[in-house]
Structure 1
Amino acid sequence: MGILERGGNAFDAGVAAAFTLQIVEPHLNGPGGDVPVILYDVRRQQTEVICGQGPAPAGATIAHYRSLGLDLVPGTGLLATCIPGTFDTWMLMLRDYGTMRPRDVLEAAIGYARHGYPLVERITETIRTVEQLFRDHWPTSAAVYLPEGRVPEAGELFANVRLAETYERILRECQGGTREQEIERARHVWSQGFVAEAIDTFCRTQDVFDVTGRHHRGVLNGHDMAHWKATVEAPIHYDYGRYRVFKPTTWSQGLVCLQQLALLKGYDLDKLDPAGPDFVHLVVEAAKLAFADREAFYGDPAFVDVPIETLLSEAYNAERRKLITERASLELRPGSIAGAGGKVEARVSAGKRVAVGATGAGEPTVGEIQTFASGNTRGDTVHFDIIDRWGNMVSSTPSGGWLQSSPIIPELGFCLGSRAQMFWLDESHPAALQPGKRPRSTLTPTIAFRDGEPYLAWGSPGGDQQDQWIPQMFLRHVHSGMNLQEAIDAPAWHTEHFPGSFWPRESRPGVVVVENRLPRATIEELDRRGHKVEIGGDWSEGRLTGARREGVRLKAAANPRGMQGYAVGR
């Protein structure tokens, strides 16, 4: 908000927010992670996507991982690392859409990193969960996150001076000349200067303990860093009544939201109670079908021909709609499209989440920090939506490089991400690992037009749940007349029916997790229809935010769940 009030636009503010979130929510995202951005630029009158999803390094081949005795990419450590995509993405957005210099958008983040910020409870909970991992195997992380050899307390002032020094050095080495020249030098320092050198050395020399219980070196190197840049591309979209909904293409899971809308378009949702059993059942069953198609068809479109037009066509969805009955499906049922898709592999887990010793993996849902029967710990991600006075819009979901993903690189003060765990080690699969290929990410920001005008930016953290909560909010707003805050606050749910995107890639057929606030009659009817209903906390589903434009009026709403979401405007 300070950036906006100093004359910056939504793109300047987005960059400043993103760098600050890396510092104050390190359990949710970091400089070594990845990011998709979807934006509307008033000047160009165009909706575009910036792809900050770094691809697999040149040395990341299926043969290499199989030679290590692996059938899945580990969920933590250096083997799970793709090329970090966040820094170049923010510099590209600043250069082409913003108005400020690198120092303007980095000064808040540097201040918090150098002088400290009060730790939120979730950070200390996360550190406590991986404390033994840090002590026994990741001493560079222990040096940062276990100050004086202890888990810091919630509310304690916490600093990461080395990370502040990293960003300060980038600013020193890029200063001088025009705004654009400074930005380009900053990009060079990151990808070919001291940052890339430190990452190259760490990956080549460190044997890092990961979720497999063994030590592995990474394959990311300086050559990979030097030869990748963030790119701008067109979004995909689907028309739903008065609305046109835009998403990143199939290197993300964004299409799964659009597929759900295409299926649900065939029902009169205006007449249904958004907390009633008919509404919940239809939305859950549509999600099962769409996510099954995600597993069968989605991948980096630079490598895979994904039949997007067919998947969104009325003919295809009319046939798929016939599979939705009054009974809950317990099968994974991807569609069949000639010449497209691959086999769907599901690792079925019958167990519930249990507290066990953690080694760390995955991308979190919100709710309690939990470990799973397989031993992996899940974190989360961040999301923001910004609309400025001119009508520019940004929706973005920065993620990865969270403190529990891999060890801190001591010269830099941050760790690398673990997005490569989303690849399959199966050459025939659309999401198969391949050098230079983007993993099929769960990150999925959203923009919608209404009656041809830019209207709404929204999204959520939460891994596989993102494109369940995102359409739920939209449907409640569109069909039930709820305002943004009501649509966010309403009782929510998610299904775990399909293979998870994160190690160990398990599925729980038929399982629907609902908030306890859902009416008892709805829960009982879902159970009668064959859903395996699990009841979560009253406020345990999602971390949605949204910003909306109606003429000159701007409105925003944020999720009360987790007490880390805010809506700010003036």
Structure 2
Amino acid sequence: MFTTRPEITGTFGVVTSTHWLASSVCMAMLERGGNAFDACVAGGFMLHVVEPNLVGPAGEVPGIFYSARTKKIEVLCGQGTTPGGATLDHYRSEGLSMIPGNGLLAAVVPGAFDAWMILLRDHGTMRLREVLEPAIYYAQTGHPLLPRISNVIANMKDFFQTYWPSSAQTYLPGGAVPEGGKLFCNPVLAQTWTRLLAEAESAGSDREAQIEKARKVFYQGFVAQAIDRFASQTEVMDESGTPHKGVICGDDMARWSASYETPLQYQYGNMTVSKTGPWSQGPTFLQVLALLKHTDISSLEADDPRFVHVLVEAMKLAFADREAYYGDTHFVDVPISALLSDDYNRARSRLIGDRAFNQLSPGVIPGYEAQVSRVVASLERLSPQTALDTPVSAMDLANRAVSARRGDTTHIDVIDRWGNMITVTPSGGWLQSSPVIPELGFGLNTRAQMFWLEEGLPGTLAPNKRPRTTLSPTFLLKDGAPYMVFGTPGGDQQEQWQLILFLRHVHQGLNLQEAIDMPMFHTQHFPSSFYPRARKPGNITIESSVGSAMMDDLRSRGHQIEESEPWSIGRLTAASRDTDGLLRAAASPRLMQAYAVGR
């Protein structure tokens, strides 16, 4: 089968990420004797520099990893919680019925930095200086700016200059849009990391002591203090059409820390799939597999219209359950065992017929009837037509245009020669969605937009609660042995594209690059996790390279087909390890920036 690139193979180490410079930095750490965790941390900080439209230092990162030392698979939870002041009463008093997707009100505690630090402390081997130096170098001396980022900045120019002057100072040097392909610097960010590193190293020569000091500096020292001042003293224009201050403060940061969790697992044939818990959308992947067990999906070819139809129908059902049940399990009782049970999914799979089922229909678990009814009623009131057809001011329309240019996400997979494996999906803190904090060179995240300002829902806003994030890497065991790590940017599409990769690899036997290169698709049938929470009932968005026969067949089944340009959907990356130690890696050619490297 034709592929755009070879599937990378080797035995020393493989890395794959959404930017070639991040992949190269990860590989450099392995070459210098570091392990997969050292490499991943260095790559994560690099992505803040080279993909600021997709991730920033104040973002978040979930990960799943296997340690050859501990022989355990664990979840790294770098998803920050809402501030203590994030109450329904406060947001309603601001005249809001939905949390804006940009500005300061949507900020949660920055989670990524602490997650990187505990991963480096507990499982890495390198010093903080070693993993930070590449990011500092490229922020200070410059990196070739992706044309796509230049276009984002150009679209934001007037807004930055009018409403977010601190962002204009960083991203419009000399008042001009930086040119794609030319060197772009963020010296203030370089200064932030240089200062943090100096303070960390003042703790002495012990590696772990330096990391602990870095955590304290970020969450209680000058970084937290700058965030506190900016959020409490600066009114920032957002999508509501009205400027607002933030509610995040230094105390919120000081009280929070990243953590490890046991992954949620599901057995599918000889594969054990590990995902993050229902504070993410990760369990939808498992629910789809539980539904597909009761279909003929395993006998279908990847280019068969019925393969697309059955998979999309299963995803509609699983994502409807996401809306009805998922949330932070410290606040919400999620019946995940029932949602993954054979009896439940056997009954639900009967809804997958020959025609598209275009309702949004969560299943009803006994004891949750009232909750499901509240969710369905809520979604009916907040339909996309209601959200988008209401008359609005020119200012509000302009801000909605800014929202449409929201950021996306990044991804890294690493496997080293010792068998350590990690997959992470860093995101948040996009340059186009929250203004730069002048002393730091980066802005806050906007993940709280995933909450509802309505009582009684799994996703209802509350203080100190994790948003139901879309970020969701995947870890596989094959016949009980650690086998494969993969993921993608893409918001609500992350699980969908990963499922396509998984099924093509497992059922059709395609190698990683073949599975990634074939035409991609997804559905937007269910509500978006992002402001303004719109949906497209019955939708399948599909690359036109599938051919007219495929699209005509899907239309005949009742699907609403939206054609996308070839090579425009998905940014998948993946890496695997055979039992004999042979390593493999692949990356999507789409957007022409993700790369797999290894030897």
Report the counterpart of residue 488 of structure 1 in structure 2: 516
After the TM superposition, which residues 459-474 of structure 1 pair with which residues of structure 2 at under 5 Å, given as runs?
459-474=487-502
Q: Does 1:201 align with 2:253?
A: no
Residue aligning to 1:566 = 595
The CA distance in 2 between the partners of 1:64 and 1:172, in whole Å, is 39
Q: Does 1:338 align with 2:366?
A: yes
C-alpha contact (below 8 Å) 2:84/2:248 kept by paired residues? yes
Residues 509-548 of structure 1 mapped to structure 2, 5 A cutoff: 509-548=537-576
Residues 110-509 of structure 1 mapped to structure 2, 5 A cutoff:
110-175=136-201, 176-340=204-368, 341-342=371-372, 343-344=375-376, 345-346=378-379, 347-349=382-384, 376-509=404-537
Partner SS for 2:574: strand
CA deviations on 1:508-544 (whole Å, 9 max, x unpaired) are 1001100011132110011011100010010111000
In 1, Cα distance between equivalents of 2:91 and 2:59: 21
Residue 80 of structure 1 aligns to a residue in which SS?
A: coil
Q: Provide the rounded CA distance (Å) in 1 between the counterparts of 2:436 and 2:46.
A: 18
Aligned-partner residue type, residue 236 of structure 1:
L
**Which residue does 1:368 correspond to in 2?**
none
2:297 touches 2:310 (CA, 8 Å); kept in 1?
A: no
Distance 1:298 1:359 in 2: 33
For structure 1, the 5+ residue unaligned runs are 362-370
Q: Residue type of the partner of 2:309?
A: H
CA gap of 1:198–1:69, structure 2 versus 1, over 3 A, is same
The alignment status of 1:44 with 2:44, answered yes or no, reads no
Q: Deviations over 1:111-138 (max 9, x none)?
A: 0001100101111111112112101100
Deviation for aligned residue 1:360: 6.3
Q: Does the CA-based 8 Å contact 1:75-1:360 persist in structure 2?
A: no
Letter in 1 for 2:74: E
| Percent of paired sites with the same residue | 55
Matched, 1:553 2:582: yes
Give, as a single letter, the amino acid of the residue that structure 1 aligns with 2:213: R
Partner of 1:364: none
The answer on whether the counterparts of 1:493 and 1:512 sit within 8 Å (CA) in structure 2 is: yes
Greater helix fraction, Structure 1 or Structure 2: 2
Q: Judge conservation of contact 1:198–1:411 (CA < 8 Å) in 2.
A: yes
Matched-pair contact (CA < 8 Å) for 1:238–1:244: yes
Correspondent of 1:57 among 83, 97, 103? 83
- Is 2:53 the counterpart of 1:14? no
Three-state SS of the structure 1 residue aligned to 2:404 is coil
Name the aligned partner's letter for residue 563 of structure 1: M
3-state SS of paired residue (1:568): strand
Instruction: State the distance in 2 between where 1:456 and 1:232 align.
Output: 20
Deviations 1:71-99 (A, max 9, x none): 11110011000000011110000000100
Whole-Å separation in 1 of the counterparts to 2:454 and 2:493: 25
3-state secondary structure, aligned to 2:422: strand
Secondary structure of 1:131's counterpart equals helix
Given residue 180 of structure 2, which amino acid in structure 1 is its aligned partner? A
Q: Quote how far apart the aligned CAs of 1:349 are.
A: 3.6
Distance in 2 (CA, whole Å) between partners of 1:72 and 1:302 is: 23
Q: Secondary structure at the match of 2:213?
A: helix
Whole-Å separation in 2 of the counterparts to 1:360 and 1:47? 43
- Counterpart amino acid of 2:116? W
Structure 2 residues without counterparts, runs of 5 or longer: 1-26, 389-393
2:6 aligned residue: none
Task: State how far apart, in whole Å, the 1-side matches of 2:590 and 2:499 are.
Answer: 18
Q: 2:105 aligns with which of 62, 65, 79?
A: 79
Q: Secondary structure at the match of 1:47?
A: strand
More relative contact order, 1 or 2 (CA 8 Å, 6+ apart): 2
Deviations 1:360-414 (A, max 9, x none): 68xxxxxxxxx59xx6323211001000001101100000001011110000000
Distance 1:517 1:106 in 2: 42
Q: Structure 1 residue runs of 4+, over 4 Å off?
A: 356-361
For residues 123 and 359 of structure 1, the distance between their equivalents in structure 2, rounded to whole angstroms, comes to 20
Give the aligned residue type for 2:479.
D
Query: How far did residue 348 of structure 1 move?
Result: 3.6
Q: 1:259 to 1:360 in 2, by over 3 A?
A: farther
Preserved CA contact (<8 Å) 2:483 2:577? yes
- Return the offset for 1:325: 1.1
**Quick check: 1:348–1:508 contact (8 Å CA) kept in 2?**
no
Cα pair 2:227 2:437 within 8 Å, conserved: yes
How many residues are treated as equivalent by the alignment?
A: 558
User: Secondary structure of the residue that 1:293 maps to in structure 2?
Assistant: helix
2: CA distance between counterparts of 1:113 and 1:410? Answer: 15
Cα shift readout 1:128-185 (whole Å, capped 9, x = no counterpart) = 1211210110000000101111111111110000000000001100102311000000
**Pairwise CA RMSD of aligned residues?**
1.7
The DSSP-based 3-state class of the residue aligned with 1:51 is strand
| Amino acid in the other structure paired with 1:136 | T
DSSP 3-state at the match of 1:387: strand
Contact 1:515 / 1:541 at 8 angstroms: preserved in 2? yes
Conservation of the 8 A alpha-carbon contact between 1:300 and 1:438: yes
